[in-house]
Structure 1
Amino acid sequence: MKLSQRLNQLNTYFSEAVARIFGPSDDSYPTIGVQPFSGDLPSKSAHSHR
């Protein structure tokens, strides 16, 4: 009986892993789109070494 319980637990473990790998994605990232650049552009002197 103990062996059958252990095999059942092992089967459940692998079944859940396979379902998680091959199941639909559960990513819940917000769709934010393209974000505008709001930083400072480098000065012309920063590129003078090229």
Structure 2
Amino acid sequence: MSIYKVFDSVTQFFSEAVARIFGPTDDAYPQTGVQPFEGDLPESKKSDW
């Protein structure tokens, strides 16, 4: 392999890594929004409130 091919492959490796880090996210999570609280609050052991 010539030095130019090695340099080209190293440059491509790092440029793909930088593009992946600073590029837009590719998450496929559904947008659910704010979820309402449906649980019970614990009883406070302090009566100072």
Pairwise same-fold verdict (TM > 0.5): yes
Percent identity (aligned): 55
CA RMSD of aligned residues (A): 2.1
Structure 2 unmatched runs, 5+ = none
Structure 1 unmatched runs, 5+ = none
**Bigger helix share:** 1
TM-score by length of 2: 0.66
The size of the alignment, in residue pairs, is: 49
TM-score by length of 1: 0.65
Name the structure 2 match of 1:4: 4
Name the structure 2 match of 1:48: 47
